Amino acid sequence: MAVDDDFDDEELDELGWEPPLDFWVAHEQPERPLGPGVWLCDCKECLLALTASAARNPRYTLMIRTNFDRIAVTSDYLAEVWHRDGTIEGLLYWPNDWIRDVGSATHDLQAPARWWSLCLSEQVGLRRAHRTHVAKYRPLPRRHTVVA
């Protein structure tokens, strides 16, 4: 006798099962407000979707995942920098870093912070890493000098 492992929607609801997160790229649905599961590429349509969404919810937080760092940035600040510079690379903290992807963050930044870097927080402490603008990279002073 075969066992039925398939559940219908009502049974899944009773079990508390939630469907997996719906991932989507902003240029595929530019009228849709940015939300969980969104990804941005560097096309004009993604900038248009970001700008429209930032006007509705300026505090929505996106995560820039780079080769060295994780940078949280509010949608209004990301749109501001992208419009001003034509790129978002000015938001990177670490020198010679590059962007892997940009997508929704799991937590919002606390106001008034609009930018946060994981690398900066590891250097100066979590509270001081929350900034209203991009921090400039400053290497930590060496505590021990190696004498040859």
Q: Which residues pair with 71 in a beta bridge?
A: 64, 117
Q: Could you tell me the pTM of the whole model?
A: 0.77
The residues, ordered by sequence, that sit 6+ positions from 34 with a Cβ below 8 Å of its Cβ are 26, 49, 50, 53, 57, 60, 62, 75, 104
Report residue 93 as tokens.
């903290």
Which tens digits make up the pLDDT trace of 6-42? 656 676 667 766 667 788 999 999 888 999 999 999 9
Q: Kindly report the backbone phi and psi dihedral angles of residue 89, in degrees, each rounded to the nearest multiple of 5, phi listed first.
A: -65, -20
Q: Calculate the alpha carbon distances from 75 to 31, 79, 113 in Å.
A: 15, 6, 12
pLDDT in tens, 83-139: 999 999 999 999 899 999 999 998 899 889 999 999 988 888 766 777 888 877 776
